[in-house]
Structure 1
Amino acid sequence: MTRHAPAIHRLAALNVGPGAADDVVQDVFIAVYRGLPGFRGEAQFSTWLHRVTLNACYRALGARQNLSLGDMPEPAAPHDPVGAGERADLRSRLAQALQTLPRDQREAVSLRELSGLEYAEIAEITGAGLGTVKSRINRGRAALREWLTRAGVGP
């Protein structure tokens, strides 16, 4: 739990917002505890854990409709009010942009960029082919880039 909780929380926060992420993480670890005897080991544990997390996120999203990912907490950093405000604004815009992506693209992009998973792992988690995963990530990144550019966010 200690090893996987931070990554699971980041993935949950991206998908359901920081306010609901703690509840999702709790649901994930309860589901993992209950499902562990049935885990056959045909996939890596981390692959199974990410799928359980995404399923818990979708259940939470089904229960709540008005979610905002822009309230993500600031990482610990030296006191810099201007920089903190700029990072909060960027995080809010990125959260808005992510919500515009279709579910399959948002899932693939978040697993790649936030969880740092390899394409093959994402394919296993999502049940999509490797080429499909690469395409979803490419289209998702392009859509994010376009949305953020229109919103005035530059590199």
Structure 2
Amino acid sequence: MNDSFESWTDAQLTVLARRDDAAFEALVRRHAPRVHAVAASMVGSGSADDVVQEVFLSVHKNLRNFRGDALFTTWLHRIALNACYKVLGAKETKATVPLDDILEPSAPHDPVRAGEAADLREKLSRALAQLPTDQREAVVLRELSGLEYAEIAEVLGVELGTVKSRINRGRTALKALLLRRGVTP
């Protein structure tokens, strides 16, 4: 990232990015990994790159209309979820949720550990895919994208208590699903 933009806030960058491509590129570099994590968890890694591209094309196109009433990350993640739903279509799906790009094996040179990590990622992917959409969205936005509860509430358009409840129920369900697959905390 351009050193001159590294210390800039998102709010500062969004204003400048309306007329400066380098500032927009700084926003993309800063947020693309989290958008990719959300997309991969919702639509699978095969479609995640397309979703990320669609998200940032939409951000670029609509940045002039962004008033800053919400945090940039909130607006960005709402666009990301909308792009995921566009890919998924109108139907509710239980997509496989590959986490290959999110969790790397701790020792890729050790075939046993790499195999165990791949097995764990697969189990986690299957369990995450089994969550109801509302719980999966909340858990993904919190655990993979690192959003605060208030930001998640704004992205999803629900009350803070609802977000907390969804995350709690999602975590509880994930734990139960993983325990059934032989994964212990």
Tell me if the contact between 1:18 and 1:71 (Cα under 8 Å) persists in the aligned partners. Answer: yes
User: Alignment partner of 2:67: what SS?
Assistant: coil
Q: Is the 2:44–2:96 contact (alpha carbons within 8 Å) kept by the matching residues of 1?
A: yes
Higher mean displacement: 61-70 or 76-85:
61-70
Deviation of the 1:78 alpha carbon = 4.3
Change in Cα spacing, 1:103 to 1:17, as seen in structure 2 (3 Å) is: same
Which of structures 1 and 2 has the larger relative contact order (alpha carbons within 8 angstroms, sep 6+)?
Answer: 1
Partner of 1:72: 100
Distance 1:90 1:48, change over 3 A: same
Which residue of structure 2 aligns with residue 124 of structure 1?
154
Aligned length: 155
Name the larger-Rg structure. Answer: 2
The residue matched to 2:68 in structure 1 has which SS?
A: coil
Structure 1 unmatched runs, 5+: none
Deviation at 1:117, TM superposition (A): 1.0
1:75 deviation in Å?
2.8
Residue 145 (structure 2) aligned to one of 112, 115, 136 = 115
Which of 98, 105, 109 is the equivalent residue of 2:135? 105
TM-fit CA distance, 1:116: 1.0
Deviations 1:80-105 (A, max 9, x none): 11111111111111111111111110
Q: CA deviation at 1:24?
A: 0.4
C-alpha distance after superposition, 1:12-42 (max 9, x if no partner): 1111111110000000011111111111111
Q: Can you list the C-alpha shifts for 1:105-127, whole angstroms capped at 9, x where unaligned?
A: 00000011111111111111111
Is residue 2:128 matched to residue 1:94? no
TM, length-normalised to structure 1: 0.93
Relative to the length of structure 2, the TM-score reads 0.78
SS at match of 2:158: coil
Aligned to 2:6: none
C-alpha distance in 2 between matches for 1:110 and 1:66: 14
2:75, 2:94 → 1: CA distance? Answer: 28
Deviation per residue, 1:38-79 (Å, 9 max, x gap): 111110111100110011111111289684323724637541
Identity over the aligned pairs, expressed in percent?
62
Given that residues 104 and 117 in structure 2 are in contact (C-alpha distance below 8 angstroms), is that contact kept between their aligned partners in structure 1? no
- Taking the aligned partners of 1:14 and 1:66, their CA distance within structure 2 comes to 11
Q: In 2 relative to 1, CA 103–45 (structure 1 residues): closer, same or farther, beyond 3 Å?
A: same
